[in-house]
Amino acid sequence: MKTSEYSKHIEYWTLDRNITFLNHGSFGATPLKIMAKQNYYRELMENEPVDFFVNKMPELLNESKGKLAKFIGVDNNDIVFVQNTTTGVNQILTSFPYKSGDEWLVTSHAYGACMNAIKHFAHRNNIVLKIADIPFPVKNDEEILNAIGQMISSKTKLALIDHITSATGMIFPIKEVIDLLHDHGIKVLVDGAHAPGMVDLDIIGLDADIYVGNCHKWMCAPKGSAFMHVKKEFKEFIKPLVISHFNDTDINGDSYWSNQFMWDGTHDFSQYICVGDTIQFMNSLQPGGWKGIMDHNHKLAWQGANLIAQRLNIELPLEEKFIGSMVNIPMPDGEEGFPKFNETSPLKKVLFEKYKIEVPVFFFPSAPTQWLRISAQLYNSLEQYEYLGECLESLK
Ligand SMILES: Cc1ncc(COP(=O)(O)O)c(C=O)c1O
């Protein structure tokens, strides 16, 4: 069986040409030019570490954050860099005010690490955690809103809601969910790990109380770059995990809150500094800039998934409106047992070892029901999904 070719955009990435990489969703992939830029910042740091950390770095960081703020349409003083969404979510959960007996809400589609975090903090603080069981496949927004609505009570204070889910690759009707929760006076923490760079993100329009998103997934920034956006009225109690320098800078000014997060001790800040460069560089890769990238990736993912579904004579679980640039494809039941994070299921293993295809397999809601989740990024080609379909057919 022949392997498949990437699109011409592969020239901008260092991805292994011998692997059919259909999993941008898990950890993103950073273009070569941005890797070079990151090395440049690292060299700048090592050429004169003191001048770098004292003079250059704060300015570079602020400039990059400013570009990110513009990209997601928020005030630069209302966002801070964090290493990843997991850290951001933990940061919020550990700061969020509570009293014993409060209720928090999460859905059954929450990402494993964030589900563990909310379970941990709820248990530690004697908060009752309600899990809204959202079906999958889901037919319409009402099914999602009803499942969440059923778990709301007068004691519910905080909800952790995914914007785009991980194991089910689904765009939630996030604005409607936020409005529903707000109608009951519940604060909303959005896990937007996949959203920046996959969908046109309007955090202010969504009215999310707190929004955490990754730059290292669909924006293609270097690993370890993410952000937290916090509405002004919540800044008072959302504090950094690490109390450090700049905790007392501009105390009565607009930058007081974001300053507190800036210096979590000495480390390599180059991935944060690269975020602004990545936004600019990616924008130049496709006619229509970022909008063009999002449209391209959505179309490719949807076309690719439909092509596979037709070939295997199966139905896709979701309507197109729930899809960004990841699509779940139903597979025959897999093994019993539930592979943990980074454990490889037999289907994933055979696709990788026999056919050199990198694509994740998820068990949802639990084993043995399994799904393949394909991703589409500029470097992928339709031919690669044809190849995956061909390989899956040969496994039948
Ligand atoms: C929905 C969701 N939330 C959170 C995360 C965690 O992201 P990170 O590992 O960058 O913290 C992921 C990762 O795939 C995710 O899909």
pLDDT one-digit tens code per residue, 46-78: 999 999 999 999 999 999 999 999 999 999 999
Q: Is the pLDDT of residue 3 over 80?
A: no
Quickly state the pLDDT bin for 341 (edges 50, 70, 90): low
- pLDDT, residue 2, reads 58
CB of 35 closer than 6 angstroms to any ligand 1 atom: no
Q: Is the pLDDT of residue 1 over 60?
A: no
Three-class secondary structure assignment of 173-185: CHHHHHHHHHHCC
8-22+287-394: CATH class: alpha beta
- pLDDT, residue 338, reads 62
Where exactly are the structural domains of the chain? 8-22+287-394, 37-282
Q: What percent of the chain has pLDDT over 90?
A: 93
CB of 162 closer than 6 angstroms to any ligand 1 atom: yes
Q: Is the pLDDT of residue 388 over 80?
A: yes
- pLDDT, residue 335, reads 78
For ligand 1, atom 7: residue with the closest CA: 85
Using the mean position of ligand 1's atoms as its centre, give its distance from the Cα of residue 365 in Å.
18
- pLDDT, residue 339, reads 67
Using the mean position of ligand 1's atoms as its centre, give its distance from the Cα of residue 56 in Å.
31
- pLDDT, residue 25, reads 98
Mutate to test the pocket of ligand 1, among 24, 83, 87, 111 (most ligand atoms within 8 A of CB): 111
CB of 111 closer than 6 angstroms to any ligand 1 atom: yes
Burial 281-300 (b: 16+ CB within 10 A, else e): bbeebbeeebeebbebbbeb
Contact between 266 and 53 (Cβ < 8 Å) = yes
Using the mean position of ligand 1's atoms as its centre, give its distance from the Cα of residue 49 in Å.
32
pLDDT one-digit tens code per residue, 267-285: 999 999 999 999 999 999 9
Using the mean position of ligand 1's atoms as its centre, give its distance from the Cα of residue 321 in Å.
22
CB of 113 closer than 6 angstroms to any ligand 1 atom: yes
pLDDT one-digit tens code per residue, 162-214: 999 999 999 999 999 999 999 999 999 999 999 999 999 999 999 999 999 99
Long-range contacts of 328-332 (CB under 8 A, 24+ apart): 328/168, 328/169, 328/170, 328/362, 328/364, 328/371, 328/372, 328/373, 329/305, 329/371, 329/372, 329/373, 329/374, 330/371, 331/361, 331/370, 331/371, 331/372, 331/392, 332/370
pLDDT, mean of residues 346-373: 95
Q: Does domain 37-282 have CATH number 3.30.70.100?
A: no
Bridge partners (DSSP) of residue 82 are 226
- pLDDT, residue 166, reads 98
CB of 84 closer than 6 angstroms to any ligand 1 atom: yes
Q: Which residue has the higher pLDDT, 229 or 337?
A: 229
Q: Is the pLDDT of residue 123 over 80?
A: yes
Report the candidate in 40, 73, 333, 9 with the shortest Cα–Cα distance to residue 208: 73
Using the mean position of ligand 1's atoms as its centre, give its distance from the Cα of residue 85 in Å.
6
CB of 169 closer than 6 angstroms to any ligand 1 atom: no
Q: Is the pLDDT of residue 14 over 90?
A: yes
Q: Is the pLDDT of residue 115 over 60?
A: yes
Topology match between the domains 8-22+287-394 and 37-282: no
Sign of the C-alpha dihedral computed for residues 121, 127, 128 and 132 taken in this order: negative
The DSSP secondary structure of 86-113, one letter per residue, reads HHHHHHHHHHS---TT-EEEEETTS-HH
Using the mean position of ligand 1's atoms as its centre, give its distance from the Cα of residue 249 in Å.
32
Atom from ligand 1 closest to the CA of residue 191: 3
Angle between helices 270-283 and 289-312 (to 10 degrees): 80
The values of phi and psi at residue 210, to 5°, are -140, 135
For ligand 1, atom 12: residue with the closest CA: 193
Burial 89-102 (b: 16+ CB within 10 A, else e): bbbbbebbebeeeb
